[in-house]
Structure formats: C-alpha cells, structure tokens
Amino acid sequence: MPDTRAVASVDLDSWRDSIVKRASAAGGRLAVLMATAQPDSVVVTAIVADEQESLAQISTTLVGDQIEVPSLTDDLPAALWYEREIHDLFGIVPIGHPRLDPLILPVEDAAIRPRPGLVGRVSDVRSRPVERTDAQVTGEGVFVYPHGPVRSAALESIEYDIETPGEDIPYPQIRVYYKHRGLEKRFEQLTVDDGALLAERVEGIASVSHATAFATAVEAVHLTVIPQVASSVRVFYAELERMANHLDVVTRLCDAAALAVATARFSWHKERVLRLMSDCSGSRFGRGVVVPGGVTALPAVGADRLRSAVGRLAADIRSDADALMLTPSFLDRLRGTGILNPELADRHGAIGPIGRASGSVHDVRHVDDSPYRDVGLLEVPSSDDGDALARLTIRWSEINTSVGYLLEAIHDLDRSNPDGPLTVPITRDLTGSGIGRVEAPQGELIYLLQLDGGRIRRCKPRTASFHNLPLFHAVFTTDILTDFPFIEASFGLSSAGVAM
C-alpha cells in the first residue's frame, strides 16, 4: 500500500501554504484535490506526492456556512480542474480561481449539489444548458467551432469548442459533462465486493487497473498483504490491458493519417490482446479477476501457450511498428505536432505516457511497495521532445516493457503452487481510510476510500485522464485543424475517466 503516513489536518489559514510548500519542493506535485461532505461540514483534502512518490494528505474543514477556500491554481496549475470539480459537486468557491466554469456538472449556482460523502442524501441534481463560455481568443474573424459531443466512429462524448480564425487553433475549450454518471454517489453504501464491481466499470478500457486500485485501497484499510501469486496475476492482466490501450492509440493515429492497412493491422493486434485476455479470464476487459484480498483465479491458459502467444504477438507488433515508423507521410504529421513543454509538464505534474514524453517521469510501478518489484523492474522510458511523435515513441517502448513484464509474470505463475491460496480473508465490517494506487495505461490511478462498518462512505477515483486533460489546452501552439485528431489520439485519454 502507498506510504501515506504524513497526514495533517490544519486550519484554513495555513492550509494553502502547507500544500504549496510541499508540492513546490523538488520532485513534489499535487496528485489529488478533493472534498468529502459530512453532516455539518465539508473536509477539503489535498494529496501531495514527494520525490520518492510517498503521499501526504493535508486537510482542512469548512464548518456550517463556510463555502470558500483559497485557490491553489496560481501556484499549482494542476489544481485548475480539481477546484472546478469541487465547485460543481459541493458549491465550494475557490477564491482567486481564474475560470470557474462548469466542468463535470452544469448546475445553477443555487441548485442542490451531490455532495459525495454525505451518505443518505438524495442527489436530486438538475442540470441546465450552459451557454458558450467567454472566449479566450478575440480578434477580427475569430469564431467558435464546436467539435462534438457526438462525433463519428465510436468516440466518447466530449465537446471541444475550438476558437479559431479559420485554420489555426489558438485555444480549444473542453466540455466534458455530457457523460456525467454520478459515480461517486453510486459508490456510497455499497459493500466492498459490490464496490469492486462498480470500480471495474468506471473506465471500461482500464477495468483491471480500477479494480486493482480499489482492491489495494481496501487492503490498505485492512493492513493486509496479498499472496505473491495474486500479485503476479494482477501484473499479468494489467500489462495485457496496457498493451491493448497503447495499440488503440496507434490505431487511431493511423486512422487519422488515412493509412488503411496500418489501421487494420494494429486493430487486429489489439483484438488479439483482448482475445487472449478473454481466453485467460472469460472477459475481454479482464473483469471478475481482481478482488479485495487477491484474485479469483489463475489464468485459464497454460504457461507454455501464454509464452508462445505473447512472443508471436510481440514479434508481429514489432514488425508492423518498424514499417510504420519508416512511413514519411505518417511521421511528418506527428513530428513537432502538439508539443507539451517539459517545464509545463513538470509544473503540472504530468503523469503517464504524456508526462514521460515531456520529461516528467512518474511511474507507480516503481514505488517501494509495488507488486512489480516481485517480477523485476524494467526501465521507465522518457523523452524531452514533448510532441505527438514522442508520445508514440513512449508507447512503443511501453509495449516492449509490457512484454517483458508479461513474460516475467508468466514465469512466476509457472513456478507457483496451483493449489496455493489466491486471496487473504478481508474482514467484512471494516472501518477506516485507505489509498490505492496503480499505474494504469493512461498513468497514475488513485482511489481514496473511506469505509464505515464494511460499507463505503466515500470513494473517490482519480484517473490520469482527469489529471492530464487540462494540458490539452496548452499544446496547440503552431497547430492547425487537421492536426487536431493526431493530438487528441496521441494523448490517449478517456472521457469516462473525467466525467464521473
């Protein structure tokens, strides 16, 4: 479980300075900003990571009619969306926030808020149509081009209001609330078993990661360590999931470049990964495997067949990747496109492949208590180029890394006792708080969990998509409309992971 021994509850006057001091230290970053409603108060909590990836919680309590906190955004850019989310869900106003538009829930200022954490509260939230927000770009001939929320193919619901004079993209507004599902309220009062089922469905493309993060949070409350064979099973499915996600990004980039053969080839490779996942677990998304306390079963496919399947898949991907990376018309569309400045990535605390492509190297697989330490750590790829090509290059490296982790996990499973325990008992009347953290395909995924008598009082999933998507505003420097699909695909993020 993550090191969260540094827990502080401070008064409102010193809350902001305490957070900024920790997050601004060398290697520090703001990981989460959230709130939890109680009968007569709201607790606002920041989770700050340090250079060793240990987590510190810093909380303050708003009592009675208090609805204001000082904004962190000027000093910590990553707080921008977190503060907007807290305003939408709780009505809390971050004083000094530069742009407090609706983000995940467009409600009237005086409307009832969901207020997650206040168990038993009926969430009768009525949304309203939101007029176009104030433009960030002005000038003669500038207009707003709405792209979405309904778009071609099977893309998720999200709207980009592109402010443009005709071809350049000075600034895209991002509106994500079309997909709001009330998930944080849905977790309330569930048992940990039912909570695991819901966690798998928060972000379907990362079902294994969400189940693992939730289970790890429960295990942190229980102060338990799962069997090593269960850790190897979790690593195995997590890396299959990572490969499928990275191959999906490659497919979308090829489709944007109108490379029909490459699109078909990488779609097929992704399908092979999903079929292997299904053969092993009975689910193309690996659902039903990870549970609090361990896993439900070993992979249904034997070690020799798994090694053969992974080896063939890796060879075929590598062959097609080599051909794709020698295609000038493809590389020209990615090189220098959608550059994320490394300095901004560092200030924001960018995570996952997006961060690693801009020199911000954070990988939960390398924290002290990671199950990956049992299968052998591999190097974390990184780059300082920051463009769409760098993000693709990072994904190629991570696919290779996933193959290495898969083979190590298969080796460990082959040596394990097939009749040994796969779970440890979890007390069903647990009370307490825990944090679960994994490296999902999109980056660091965190679950903050509060249990009361075995029931969920508060569950806050924080995805890498939510943390990284604000950076999408910043990468359009010299880019034009036809670059948009390449930049969006290269980010590889999920709307479902944002509008929860």
In a domain, 74, yes or no: yes
What are the tens digits of pLDDT across the range 280-336? 999 999 999 999 999 999 999 999 999 999 999 999 999 999 999 999 999 999 999
In a domain, 366, yes or no: yes
| Angle of CA points 24, 25, 27, to nearest 5° | 100
In a domain, 50, yes or no: yes
Q: pLDDT band for position 245 (50/70/90)? A: very high
> How far apart, in Å, are the Cα atoms of 110 and each of 36, 107, 243, 334, 493?
19, 8, 45, 46, 32
What are the tens digits of pLDDT across the range 338-347? 999 999 999 9
Between CA 21 and CA 27 the distance in angstroms is 12
Residues 6+ apart with CB under 8 A from 336: 387, 389, 478
Between CA 439 and CA 366 the distance in angstroms is 9
Mean pLDDT in residue range 399-427: 94
Looking at residue 500, its pLDDT comes to 82
Residues 194 and 314 reside in one and the same domain: yes
Mean pLDDT in residue range 84-103: 91
What is the domain-level CATH number for residue 31? 3.30.460.80
In a domain, 149, yes or no: no
Bridge partner list, 480:
168
pLDDT at 54 over 60: yes
User: How long is the chain?
Assistant: 500
Listed range (142-146, 150-154, 286-290, 345-349) with the worst mean pLDDT = 150-154
Residues 117 and 252 reside in one and the same domain: no
pLDDT at 169 over 50: yes
Please answer whether residues 61 and 41 qualify as being in contact, where contact means their C-beta atoms are separated by less than 8 angstroms.
Answer: yes
In a domain, 177, yes or no: no
Mean pLDDT in residue range 121-125: 49
Q: How much of the chain, in percent, has pLDDT values that exceed 90?
A: 71
Q: How far is CA 53 from the centre of its chain?
A: 17
Please answer whether residues 490 and 249 qualify as being in contact, where contact means their C-beta atoms are separated by less than 8 angstroms.
Answer: yes
Residues 268 and 407 reside in one and the same domain: yes
Between CA 167 and CA 171 the distance in angstroms is 12
Residues 194 and 47 reside in one and the same domain: no
Residues 102 and 197 reside in one and the same domain: no
For residue 349, give its domain range. Answer: 184-487
What is the domain-level CATH number for residue 391? 1.10.645.10
By C-alpha distance, which of 491, 163, 156, 161 is closest to 338?
491
Domain total in the chain: 2
Q: In what order do the strands lie in the sheet with 432-440?
A: 432-440, 443-452, 455-462
Q: Which of 104, 123, 142 is the last residue of a domain?
A: 123
pLDDT at 356 over 80: yes
In a domain, 58, yes or no: yes
pLDDT at 143 over 60: yes
Residues 469 and 327 reside in one and the same domain: yes
Most confident listed range (133-137, 182-186, 397-401):
397-401
Q: How far is CA 406 from the centre of its chain?
A: 22
Residues 209 and 92 reside in one and the same domain: no
In a domain, 166, yes or no: no
| Residue 257: DSSP 8-state | T
Mean pLDDT in residue range 152-178: 80
Other beta carbons less than 10 A from residue 421's beta carbon? 13
DSSP-based three-state secondary structure for 224: coil
Looking at residue 127, its pLDDT comes to 45
Q: Which of 72, 100, 123 is the last residue of a domain?
A: 123
Q: pLDDT band for position 1 (50/70/90)? A: very low
Model pTM score: 0.94
As to burial, measured by CB atoms within 10 angstroms (0-12 exposed, 13-18 middle, 19+ buried), residue 267 is: middle
Q: Mean of the per-residue pLDDT values for the chain?
A: 91
By C-alpha distance, which of 114, 143, 149 is closest to 130?
149
In a domain, 41, yes or no: yes
Residues 234 and 331 reside in one and the same domain: yes
Q: pLDDT band for position 2 (50/70/90)? A: very low
What are the tens digits of pLDDT across the range 453-477? 999 999 999 999 999 999 998 999 8
Terminal alpha carbon distance of the chain: 25
**Ramachandran bin of 162, using left for φ above 0, alpha for ψ from -120 to 50, beta for the remaining angles:** beta
Between CA 62 and CA 66 the distance in angstroms is 5
pLDDT at 58 over 90: yes
Between CA 61 and CA 419 the distance in angstroms is 49
Between CA 115 and CA 109 the distance in angstroms is 14
Query: β-strands 29-38, 41-49: how paired?
Result: antiparallel
**Ramachandran bin of 347, using left for φ above 0, alpha for ψ from -120 to 50, beta for the remaining angles:** alpha
Mean pLDDT in residue range 105-129: 67
Between CA 119 and CA 37 the distance in angstroms is 9
As given in the structure block, the two tokens for residue 120 are 């038993």
Residues 119 and 215 reside in one and the same domain: no
Residues 96 and 189 reside in one and the same domain: no
Residues 101 and 210 reside in one and the same domain: no
Residues 87 and 190 reside in one and the same domain: no
pLDDT at 186 over 70: yes
Q: How much of the chain, in percent, has pLDDT values that exceed 70?
A: 93
As given in the structure block, the two tokens for residue 221 are 């409350």
| Angle of CA points 222, 224, 229, to nearest 5° | 140
Between CA 89 and CA 92 the distance in angstroms is 8
pLDDT at 124 over 50: no
Between CA 292 and CA 216 the distance in angstroms is 7
